[in-house]
Structure 1
Amino acid sequence: MRSPEIPANEKERLEALHQTGLLEPGASPAFDRLTRLARRVFQVPLAMINLLDEHTLIVKSADGSAPETVPRNISFCGHTILCEAPLVVEDMLRDDRFADNPLVAGEPGVRFYAGFPLRLRDGASVGSLCLIDFRPRTFSADDLAVLSDLGALAENEFAAVSAATTDDLTGLFNRRGFNLFVQFTLSSARRRAEPLTLGWLDLDHFKSINDLYGHEEGDRALKVMASLMRASFREADLLVRFGGDAFAILFADTDEKGAWIAMQYLVEQVEAYNARRLHPWTLAFSWGVSEFDHQGDDVQQWLKCADENMYAMKQQRHGAA
């Protein structure tokens, strides 16, 4: 088996992928339509749209039975992102790169693969639209043209997701929105010699809301949390849903002590909302704050520090629930 090579622009490729918002969890109706169509058109048991993160292939959408993730070093799509044209292997057992791959030699016994490399607008190859069959098959020039057409549609959807700066469910900024505005905010704070503090919060026991009451109630809980954040903080503060049940607040002209007071106010507002008993669930969250060190410029370390402070509270309260 030949593991896929790492692209020469891997650092830039990963940065571009992480900024798109494509890695955020949640349903992907547009991508699901494309995989359904691909499976039906080519009459294969499995069609997928995948993303290649640093160590993992992440299945963004699948029509057919597929795992959520695959180790990158045994993924077929790890090879596809290295290609300018689609990668087609009509019989995996006859290809030295894949014949003894555990996904070929063992379960599920893949024999045919066709993958279209999916790129962002800047040219970064971040994933694939691929077809899987468990028997060898031929793939004609017409088939290749149709796969390329579907790949172009998938890339258009990538561009639409990448361009969005707000979260569809809550209306808050999303991860991409944060990434676009944070550098401007930092530069402005430096020029004015103003403090800047990041608040990070994570809902407690959110999974149990989905499990006990359904995802519709889970979505309602997220929207209520976003509404309480808007009511609790200033218009100058940047409110972000980072994905899942994680939120962030960028407190302008605020030191860590001020951000702590603001977060305590949000706690009070959430408790007051819960007292109204409008839902079968109650909201609870753990949180942390971190003031930016203007002597440095490491935004990722700043995020990590706020997240670690939040996680310490979660562990103390709930054993990392």
Structure 2
Amino acid sequence: MKEPDFPDNEAQRIKDLHSLDILDTEPEERFDRVTRIAKHLFDVPIAVVSLVDNHRQWFKSCIGLPVRETARNVSFCGHVINDDGPFIINDATKDPRFLDNPLVMGEPFIRFYAGVPLVYHNQSKLGTLCIIDTKPRELTMQQMADLVDLAKVAEQELEATIQATLDPLTQISNRRGFFELSEKSMDYCRMGGFCVALAYFDLNDFKAINDKLGHKAGDEALQKFADLMASSFSDSDVFARIGGDEFVVFMSGLTEKVAEIAVERFRKSVERFNDEENRGYEIKFSVGIVVAKPSSDMSIDSLLEEADKRMYQEKCASK
């Protein structure tokens, strides 16, 4: 058996896959629709939307298999993400790469396999749309084209996953994305007994930038503020734009002192940006920070509410 190679961009590919926050989520109709169509269109017993993780392939949608994942080293899909086009095996028992593969010799007794890579942002092949049969067969050129077209639909759904949780202007998480990510992070901290911190930012006098210099300058200020957040805080922190000029950062596993240091580091980054050149405006903000050890009844909403109050107190005190 030949194990699949790792793509040259494996580190970036895994980073892109994990950024979707889609692994180990519940089945969704928008992906199940694709596998149902594939099963019917190609008259196969098995159709799968598979995502190739570090050491496993995980099935976002699966018809005809009783499992949600298998090991990557025995996967057919692991081979697909190294190719640009359809990957076709007409009879696995006659292919030296697969004839002794446990998925061929045992359940589900794969004979025919056809997979198309699912490409994200035109660079990372995150997984496949694949069809499988327990008997040898071939695809016509038209059928191959149909499978590629159907894979494009699955790709669009993957793109929609991230777009639904991204702020289109700043390209960081929006309110929905923030809640999805921070709630998972808080669940982890709750189980481990770790503290969490939430910082609530509100830009000061932002309306004046729009009124004086126009909305283009205002958009630039928001984009730069988001860029500075992304470069100042940890990769494990969850930062988002949740309103017009309101931003938040959720930090996990740190003390109040460390949270304050992180916010102060960000403040200095903003000050350096303001000092770089005369743009006609400066970015200024007020911030409220709340640190807590999450209890069973604590919610992101309650942390936001308390941090918002503290931010408002700072804003009033600075006037």
Give the TM-score band, short-chain normalised: 0.5 to 0.7
Q: Which has the larger radius of gyration?
A: 2
For structure 2, list consecutive stretches of 5 or more residues without a partner in the other structure. 167-172, 185-222, 262-287, 300-319
Q: TM-score, normalised by structure 2?
A: 0.59
CA displacement at 1:8 relative to structure 2: 1.3
Separation (CA, whole Å) in 2 of partners of 1:31 and 1:169: 24
Match of 1:158 in 2: 158
* 1:3-56 superposed Cα distances (whole Å, 9 cap, x missing partner): 001111111111111112232512322101100111111111110000011111
Separation (CA, whole Å) in 1 of partners of 2:102 and 2:229: 48
Letter in 2 for 1:107: E
Match of 1:51 in 2: 51
Q: Is the 8 A contact 2:48 2:129 kept in 1?
A: yes
Separation (CA, whole Å) in 2 of partners of 1:110 and 1:149: 23
Separation (CA, whole Å) in 1 of partners of 2:114 and 2:250: 42
Separation (CA, whole Å) in 2 of partners of 1:19 and 1:183: 17
Q: Does 1:263 align with 2:281?
A: no
Written as runs of structure 1 = structure 2, the 5 A alignment for 1:1-321 is 1-165=1-165, 172-175=178-181, 184-185=228-229, 187=231, 237-238=248-249, 254-255=259-260, 262-263=291-292, 267=295, 270=298
Separation (CA, whole Å) in 2 of partners of 1:28 and 1:268: 28
Separation (CA, whole Å) in 2 of partners of 1:56 and 1:140: 31
Separation (CA, whole Å) in 1 of partners of 2:96 and 2:296: 63
CA displacement at 1:111 relative to structure 2: 0.6
Separation (CA, whole Å) in 1 of partners of 2:162 and 2:13: 14
CA displacement at 1:237 relative to structure 2: 4.1
Q: 1:269 to 1:50 in 2, by over 3 A?
A: closer
Q: 1:43 to 1:173 in 2, by over 3 A?
A: same
* Aligned partner of residue 62 in structure 1, secondary structure: strand
* 1:173-216 superposed Cα distances (whole Å, 9 cap, x missing partner): 4449x9x99873365679xxxxxx969xxxxxxxxxxxxxxxxx
For structure 1, list consecutive stretches of 5 or more residues without a partner in the other structure. 191-196, 200-229, 241-246, 272-321
Separation (CA, whole Å) in 2 of partners of 1:10 and 1:254: 32
Separation (CA, whole Å) in 2 of partners of 1:40 and 1:124: 28
Match of 1:217 in 2: none
Identity %: 35
* Aligned partner of residue 116 in structure 1, secondary structure: strand
Q: 1:49 to 1:147 in 2, by over 3 A?
A: same
Q: Is the 8 A contact 2:39 2:45 kept in 1?
A: yes
Q: 1:173 to 1:248 in 2, by over 3 A?
A: farther
Separation (CA, whole Å) in 2 of partners of 1:189 and 1:16: 19
* Aligned partner of residue 115 in structure 2, secondary structure: strand
* Aligned partner of residue 12 in structure 2, secondary structure: helix
Separation (CA, whole Å) in 2 of partners of 1:268 and 1:55: 33
Separation (CA, whole Å) in 2 of partners of 1:172 and 1:248: 17
Q: Is the 8 A contact 1:198 1:248 kept in 2?
A: no
CA displacement at 1:169 relative to structure 2: 11
Letter in 2 for 1:74: V
Q: 1:198 to 1:61 in 2, by over 3 A?
A: closer
Q: Is the 8 A contact 1:48 1:129 kept in 2?
A: yes
CA displacement at 1:164 relative to structure 2: 2.6
Separation (CA, whole Å) in 1 of partners of 2:253 and 2:39: 39
